[in-house]
Amino acid sequence: MADTTVPVFSLTELRKGADQEKFRRCVTEMGVFYLTDYGVREKDHRLAADTAMDFFEHGTPEEKEAVTTKIPTMRRGYSALEAESTAQVTNTGTYTDYSMSYSMGVSGNLFPSQRFETVWTDHFTSLYAAAREAARVVLNATGTYDAGDMDKLLDCDPVLRLRYFPEVPEHRAAEREPRRMAPHYDLSIITLIHQTPCANGFVSLQAEIGGTMVDLPAVPDAVIVLCGAIAPLATQGAVPAPQHHVRAPGAGMREGSDRMSSVFFLRPSTDFTFSVPKARTYGLDVSLDAETATFGEWIGTNYITMHATTES
């Protein structure tokens, strides 16, 4: 198992009541952990990833255009290399995300083929079940949950996204642009991340813990669980939403630095309502000018900004 300072928990054991105090400290102090025994097999992750990669590599420009959404507030279908900028959303720069991706949700999907739809729908269903169970143990860990009926909260609007980070070109090496993706927290209840390691050993994903960015290497048979921005809103600020980013390799580490990341965002329904002032006291950046807002209003503006074109 990979060496990591972030603890590893078994979902099966957590549901039995094991490691509760250790888990509570991890959730409240870090907001990130590894999870095993969560009900999704490695071969299913590989099948979904390989299906997307085959489309990335062999899909024609016309086929990719056909599954590129025209709705700026939704993550669906294909997103080309450098088509998005997390830095623009977080006001930390104008550089693009050095990745391409494919995304799906519960509706409004754009599938390139029937086989693709079958593989991804099965994988989505399995990850949705796993994410809901993981979210339950997170939200119950602190004893401060106050977001109403938890079953209703977790019957939500998730997104599954496969990101491929190719080897960076010279102008995107760390010496010139330190990151493939800017620091951010996720707009989710929790996020599950299954990643492939870089062949050359470079660790690209990091999360902020105690003011320091800590490596999150790939761990066999495990996913990373990151608590998202809805977690503090639902637990009276007890659970943080850690910042994380994707580093660029240095010039000497570019070869063999490509990686894949399968990311499942357990997002609340668009009508989930929260207090804007409270969100700000929890350290969340909500620019909406209102006392209360819905999740749909919050995330919609972010997606539009992410896809805005900016001269750099």
The DSSP secondary structure of 24-84, one letter per residue, reads HHHHHHTSEEEEESSS--HHHHHHHHHHHHHHHHH--HHHHHHTB-S-TT---EEE-TT--
Render pLDDT for 154-180 as a digit per residue (tens, 0 to 9): 999 999 999 999 999 999 999 999 999
Q: What are phi and psi of 146, to 5 degrees?
A: -150, 35
User: Angle formed by the axes of helices 42-58 and 114-140, to 10°?
Assistant: 130
CA distances from 310 to 88, 93, 171, 239, 246 (A): 9, 10, 18, 34, 21
Q: What is the pLDDT of residue 72?
A: 75
- Is the confidence at residue 44, as pLDDT, over 90? yes
75 is known as an active-site residue: yes
Render pLDDT for 72-88 as a digit per residue (tens, 0 to 9): 778 899 999 988 888 88
- State mean pLDDT over 211-224: 94
- Is the confidence at residue 4, as pLDDT, over 70? no
Q: Band of the pLDDT at 128, cuts 50, 70, 90?
A: very high
Q: Band of the pLDDT at 299, cuts 50, 70, 90?
A: confident
- Helix, coil or strand: residue 261: strand
Of residues 290 and 230, more confidence is placed in: 230
- Is the confidence at residue 3, as pLDDT, over 60? no
Q: Band of the pLDDT at 276, cuts 50, 70, 90?
A: very high
- State mean pLDDT over 234-239: 95
Q: What is the pLDDT of residue 302?
A: 61
Q: Band of the pLDDT at 309, cuts 50, 70, 90?
A: very low
For residue 286, the tally of other CB atoms under 10 A from its CB is 19
The three-point CA angle 241-245-246 to 5° equals: 150
- Helix, coil or strand: residue 89: helix
Q: Band of the pLDDT at 146, cuts 50, 70, 90?
A: very high
- Is the confidence at residue 300, as pLDDT, over 80? no
CA distances from 203 to 11, 181, 262 (A): 25, 14, 16
Burial of 296 (0-12, 13-18, 19+ CB in 10 A): middle
Q: What is the pLDDT of residue 98?
A: 94
- Is the confidence at residue 94, as pLDDT, over 90? no
Query: Under 8 Å CB-to-CB from 188, ≥6 apart: which residues?
Result: 226, 228, 229, 230, 265, 266, 267
- State mean pLDDT over 283-300: 86
Q: Range with the lowest mean pLDDT among 47-51, 73-77, 276-280, 297-301?
A: 297-301
CA distances from 26 to 181, 195, 210, 214 (A): 25, 21, 12, 14
From the list 15, 24, 46, 75, the catalytic residue is 75
Catalogue the E-assigned strands of the chain: 8-10, 32-36, 77-79, 100-104, 159-165, 179-184, 190-195, 205-209, 212-215, 223-227, 244-247, 259-266, 273-275, 292-294
The three-point CA angle 290-293-297 to 5° equals: 110
- State mean pLDDT over 196-217: 94
